[in-house]
Each structure stands twice: as structure tokens, then as C-alpha cells.
Chain A
Amino acid sequence: MATPALSGAPPRRRISLGIDTLFLLLTMVYLLVPLGATLVFGLSGNSLFGTYQQILSDKDFYRTLLTSFELAVAATLLSLLLVTPTAYWVQIRLPRLRLLLEILSLIPFAVPAIILSLGLLEVYGSPNLLTAILSFGLVPLLSGPPFVIANTPPLLACAYVIISLPFVYRPIDNSLRALNAVVLTEAAQSLGAGWWSIFLRVILPNIWPGMISAALLTFSTAMGEFTLASLFGIYTFPNFLGQVGQSDPREAASLSVFSFGLTLICVLAIILLVRRQAGGANRDRDIELATVK
């Protein structure tokens, strides 16, 4: 930035120290060096090709990766299906319950995974009259045949939904507030739209970025979750990683880097999907606004 000239002297240029670039580089180093060190450690004593050939030939690798992926997708879809219409309905019809919903969505932060898993196993493994009443009969129904949901992947997916609640509710609620969902709903009603039309054609397209943020966080949480899966006795990819680490730390290190890369690809794919979906409304944002008539 040029400073004004004094007494006829030419303007001096202030030299930019590039502090912002320096901080960015330092942050990247802080994040990437451990990853790189892990990769180097994993490849030591073997070639890159040899290491990953060994990994990819392990049948458990594919099985557990697929299991984790399916659980992550199920938890993500279930979270969105549960939270999105609930948050919308509370905003439109029950605004006084918003505070309660915010508190409920934060409770999972306070409950350790071990307590959560033991609680779920106890409730669905040994249903009693109290849980039957509180769940309107759903717990006994799911605990008994043909479902017998205790210690099963569906229950684990539900557990993932619970631990992801804080990350799902907040972005969706923020999107609804930014949208002024109440007024848009009334506008759509005045034009003859029913609730489903309003939700699908007016609300969802506008809170899509919030839903994608929620999906990203749920997906990555579920992909990397270890404790709940261990206690449920379900062999997921993080459990496979842990087991490999006990026998061969180098292979475990290589697997960790691979897992990180895979999750990163999934996250980037979702982000690109968001940009494409949001393109219709934002495509021409750089076009100058029409002048006032």
C-alpha cells in the first residue's frame, strides 16, 4: 500500500510481511507433518507397493470398510430424516420448544460413549415396563423377535445418530433461521401449497447447505467411531485398524493414512455436490444488482 508523499519525495511502498501466508503455512505444517510422519513410519521396512498390497489383500479390510461405510451412510440418512423435519416443525409451530431441543441436542456431549452403549444394550437387551411405557411400546417390539435389535448394526447406527445430534441439529437450525422459514411457509400456504409441498419444494432446497454440513459431520464421526462399535461387538474399520495396530504398527500406520484419504475423498465429493446443488441460486451472484427503478 502506497503512503502519501511528503515534501515532494516519491511515495514509499509498505513491505507486506505476509503474516497471513506464514500462519497458513505453519498451520498446514502442524496438520500435515504428523500425517506425513505416520506415512513414512508405515512405509519403513517395506516399499509403498508392498505395504498397500499387503493391506488390500486382507479380506477383513474390505469387509470392515464396507461395514463402516454402510453404518455411516445409514446414520447420516437417519439423522437428516429425523432432525430436519423436527427442526422445521419446531420453528414453524412450536417455537417455545426450540430451547428444549437445543438442550437435548447437546446432551450427547455430556454422555460418554461407554455409558451410552451400556445404556442402549441394557434397554434393548432387557426391556421392562418403564421403558415400554416411555417408548410407547417401541422398545419391547424391537427387542423381541423378529427384530432382536440389541448388539446389531441397526442399533449401532441409531447410536451414531445420537452422538451426532449436536453436529446435525445446529447447522440445520441455523439454516432455517437464516431462511426466515416462517414467512416463506406462510407465503407458500397463501399460494395453496400443502405441508409436503412446502417442505420439499421451498424449505429443503434452501437449507441444503446446512444439511450437507450436518451430513459431513455425521459421516466422518461414524466412519471413525471406535468405542461404541467395540462395545456392541461389531467389527468396523476403526476396530480393524486397532487390531492391526496391535500386531503390526507399521501396517496400522499405513492403514490410518489410507482411512484418512478415503474419508477426505468422501467429504470432498459431498462438498462438490453441495456446490452443484447450490449453483442454481448462486450462479449469478457476481452479476451486478439491477438499479432501483
Chain B
Amino acid sequence: MSFLVLENMLKYFGKVTAVDHISISINKGEFLTLLGPSGCGKTTILRMVAGFEQPDGGRILLDGEDITQSPARKRPMGMVFQSYALFPHMTAEQNIAFGMSMKRLPPAHIQKRCRELLELVDLAEHGRRYPHQLSGGQQQRIALARALAVEPKVLLLDEPLSALDARVRVSLRNEIRRIQLQLAMTAIYVTHDQEEALAVSDRIAVMARGKVEQIDQPEEIYRNPRTAFAATFVGTSNQFKGTLESAHEGLCRVEDHLFHIPPQHTLSDNAAVLVAVRPEEIAVHSLDEASSDPLNGHDNHLEGIIELRTFLGPFTRFHIQLGEQKKITADVPSRLAHGYLVGQQVQLSFPSEACQVLSLDTTSVVADPILEAETI
């Protein structure tokens, strides 16, 4: 049985439907991430679970109990905020102790628990410091310890790493995950950063326009996205809009090219589709190599000119101009990327299995093309 159930959640802000009939079930000890762009409704869902927003429809069930109408202070939740929200006039230790003092726990117990939590977040020596004397990463650790101090049944994290610089973000997200696993804590994490979501989650709910596009394990979403938005928002991808010439044989017309794609059993001929190909699936060859081995073992071939080359350590990213309008990205292992220069004409190839084919009906949402994270 699911531990936390969001049943048909609905929320309006004026004429805008921020959360549109969303149902999510979360198991005990699970780390679920709500991932999506700004305005998709992920924070609204989190705030409804926390009790800061009242839903216009639906129910929230925690361990079988309906908590929809419970005020925030009575819900067994701990929350970590994007802006840390530490009380400026209290030391780190006093911040952690605050929730326990609200429960009127014995002072000796509070003191002991504060020490344990400071050790858990690796800040045992910083208990007497005020928030302004701590770095951003340290403040967020204290905020995490404070949320855990009240022994919540569910930990809510609202973009906790957004205000931190990149290096601290990576180390702290691993810390959060380590602590969550250690405590077997059920957690809901909100972020717009797909790399963060992929790194820490048991499952990800990809959201757009108030709806859940796909909810699945990170690897499954990355390899088998079920909607155009999931395909384009999670990870970097090259997007080709086309029409199915033969769904059964796996042929798709994209402008002047005929793409070989996996056979489509749920789509019909002439359907409008989005073909997404991950940059790491695309191989780059010089024209000489291409002429000696035309197929390269791949079904799809394109020609273009290298416009930009970016060294990213283990991978080198090529930005290639196809024709006049289209640009695509290819990630090549750096050991194979020598000899390809800007301005060089190259052939690109990728297998049919690398093509993720999504239906493009009138309601489909597509994320902005090729989100240039420039990270591996």
C-alpha cells in the first residue's frame, strides 16, 4: 500500500490551472522528484502537501489518514526551503532545537538530538554560529537538520540547491541522498534541474502545464520517454519533427530525409511525430571514412558542417549545421574526436534504435530544443 497518496489534486490561481487533476502514489522510504520548468505546478503540489496551499479539489492521504484539511503545523512533515529560511536571531543549534521545543520535549533530549543531527550533517563544530556566519551550503545543511529534528514522516525539499554554486550543489545533493537513504525517509524533492533529478531520485515525475507527463525511474524516463515533453526536457536531445510514412516498417519523413526508426505499433501512418535522438547516440565520420564504409552499421545518415567544437573532458560536443536551418549536437568520446575541425564537412550516423518517437498531437508540449547544459 502506498505511504503518501495524492488523489486527483486540483489547484487554480485565478483563471490559471496550476495543478490539473494529478494523482501520485509514493511508497515509504521512496525519493520522488517533481521535475519540470517554472510554472509547471511542482512547487504548488509540494506546498499543498505541506499545508501552505489549500487544494481546490482532491485529497492527500498519509499512511491511510486524510490530511487534506489539516493545518501545516499539525502535519508530520519537515520542509527544506530554497532560501534556507533559517531564523536569523538563533544559532544553528537553536534553529535545530526550535521544532523540538514546540513539541515541549525535555531539554536534555533536545540537546542530545541537536548534537546527533549536527554530526549527521557534518557540522558538529558549528552549532553556536549564527546563520550569517555560515556559508550557503552550511546553512542548507542546518536547514536539513532542522527539518529532520521533528522526526517527520515525509521530508519536503523545495529546490534546496538552487541558491548554491555548482560545486556545492553536487556535493550537497549527494549528502541529501545519503542522509535520506540512511534514515529511510520518504522524500519529495522539487527541482527544475534534470541532472539533479536523475542523480538522486528513485522515481521522477516529469511535469508540464500542471500535468504529469511521465512518472518513472530515471533511467526509464531517459531511455524510453513516453511523451514529447519528457523526451525533450530530460537530458539533451536533438529534435526532428516529421511524419510517419510507414509505422509498421519504421520509416519517418523528416523534411528531405527518410529516417529509419523502430516500428511503431501504437501510431498510424501519416501521424505527426517528434523524433528525438540523444547526442551520445550520434557518430561523427569524416567524408573519407564515410565513402569507404557507407553504412557504418547504422541506418540513418546525415551530412553537415561542424560549426562549433566544445571539449567537455571525457566527451567532445560538436554543433553541426545541417542545411540552412537545422543544427544538431553530437557528443563523441574525446579519444575519437581528434581530427574533426570547425568548418569541416562530416557525415553523421545513428541507429534506428536510438530514435525516440513521440506523437505530436495538438496538445503535446515540447521543451525548448537542445537545453545547452554543457555538462556531462
Interface on A for B, CB 8 Å cutoff?
Answer: 179-180, 183-184, 186-194, 197, 201-202, 205-206, 280-281, 284-285, 287, 289-293
Contact = CB atoms under 8 A, between A and B. Distances in A.
14 contacts: A179-B88, A183-B85, A186-B50, A186-B72, A186-B85, A187-B86, A190-B73, A192-B103, A193-B98, A281-B132, A290-B126, A290-B138, A292-B168, A293-B135
Given A189-B72, A281-B89, A290-B126, A183 B98 contact: no
Nearest to B75: A190
Contact of B102 (A184, A191, A285): A191
A201 B99 CA distance: 12
Contacts of B137: 292-293
B133 A293 contact: no
A192 B147 CA distance: 11
B146 interface: yes
A183 B83 contact: yes
Contact of A197 (B89, B102, B167): B102
Contacts of A184: 85, 87
Nearest to A180: B83
Contacts of B99: 191-193
Given A180-B85, A280-B89, 10 more contacts: A186-B79, A186-B81, A186-B85, A189-B51, A190-B78, A281-B132, A290-B126, A292-B167, A293-B137, A293-B171
Contacts of A205: 89
A180 B83 CA distance: 10
Contacts of B72: 186, 189-190
Interface residues of B, number: 41
Nearest to A283: B130
B52 interface: yes
Contacts of A197: 102
Interface string B78-97: 11010101111100000000
Given A281-B130, A284-B133, A290-B135, A192 B102 contact: yes
A284 B51 CA distance: 36
A183 B99 CA distance: 16
B302 interface: no
A187 B142 CA distance: 13
A187 B79 contact: yes
Interface string B125-140: 0100110111111100
A291 B146 CA distance: 21
B133 A183 contact: no
B89 A192 contact: no
Interface string B16-29: 00000000000000
B150 interface: yes
Contacts of B355: none
A187 B138 contact: no
A191 B134 contact: no
Contact of A190 (B50, B122, B130, B135): B50
A289 B134 contact: yes
B366 to A, nearest CB: 34
Nearest to A193: B102
B272 to A, nearest CB: 44
A206 B73 CA distance: 21
A197 B45 CA distance: 27
A9 B276 CA distance: 70
Given A186-B79, A293-B135, A281 B98 contact: no
B274 interface: no
Interface in B108-149: 122, 126, 129-130, 132-138, 146-147, 149
B114 to A, nearest CB: 14
Nearest to B99: A191
A201 B89 CA distance: 10
Contact of A285 (B52, B86, B89, B132): B132
B130 A284 contact: yes
A183 B158 CA distance: 12
B133 A188 contact: no
B81 A183 contact: yes
A140 to B, nearest CB: 38
B76 to A, nearest CB: 9
Contact of B134 (A186, A188, A206, A290): A290
A108 B88 CA distance: 34
A284 B171 CA distance: 28
B87 A194 contact: no
A291 B147 CA distance: 24
B99 to A, nearest CB: 3
A201 B79 CA distance: 19
